[in-house]
Amino acid sequence: MTPLLDIDCLSAGYGAVQALSDVSLQVMSGEIVTLIGANGAGKSSLLMSICGDPKPRAGRIRLTGEDITGAPTHAIMRRGVAQSPEGRRIFPRMTVRENLLMGAEALTREDPAAQLEQVFTLFPRLKERLAQRGGTLSGGEQQMLAIGRALMSKPRLLLLDEPSLGLAPLVAKLIFGAIRRLNAETGLTVLLVEQNAFQALRLAHRGYVLVNGRITMEGSGAALLARPEIREAYLGGH
């Protein structure tokens, strides 16, 4: 079967910094795949490179077999990739509704009402806060908004960068639960980057470990969770 996302020997970086070296990774349609790794390992760079910036220096990125290597970000978004970036980056002065509608821009000609309903089913809290400015939401609500905004473009592939960052454990659990439901109920394919390796590996069908820009391990979420070297390096206490 052709993977939804097929990354083959990707290298990318910033000037003299080589952030990713020879990275190969596949995400099948309907999967949740997680990428774990320490600070600075290159996790965000990988998600951003899939979106076209930084541009790959070597290697190939394909979406259902179609080569998108080096394509501009807007063209990649139009092919069904949406990202909820690290740090949420919502528009603090815009209302929740306006933030969500910004995410629907890629939907040409389509009425965003159905997508809004899907977002409200997932995060009823956002419906209650529709007229409120983004900047007045709690951290967890802002994360819901960032994910909701990404969903508004009806993506085939959702890229999530550190959705639990800075959230209290209970709120993080709620966000992970929403990602699980979204995947189970709509079949949406998710590539998730997380510092919280325990929760992320429990949620994911498969995972990859990134160390200094290189993939060092891959396997099912359960298999990675059971590896002593993973427990030692990333799961302190679990």
Binding site for ligand ATP (CB under 6 A): 14, 17, 19, 37, 39-45, 86
In whole angstroms, the minimum distance from the beta carbon of 136 to ligand ATP comes to: 26
Nearer to ligand ATP (CB atom), residue 35 or residue 116: 35
For residue 125, the minimal CB distance to ligand ATP (Å) is 27
Q: Residues 6 or more apart from 49 whose CB is under 8 A from it?
A: 10, 12, 20, 55, 56, 61
Closest separation between CB of residue 3 and ligand ATP, Å? Answer: 22
Is the Cβ of residue 21 or residue 115 nearer to ligand ATP in the bound state?
21
In the complex, least distance from residue 69 CB atom to ligand ATP, rounded to whole angstroms: 18
Burial of 236 (0-12, 13-18, 19+ CB in 10 A): exposed
Of the pair 45, 115, the CB lying nearest ligand ATP is at: 45
Cβ closest to ligand ATP, residue 21 vs residue 183: 21
Residue closer to ligand ATP by CB (options 19, 203) is 19
Report yes or no: 61 and 70 within 8 Å, Cβ to Cβ.
no
**Smallest separation (angstroms) from ligand ATP to the CB of 201:** 16
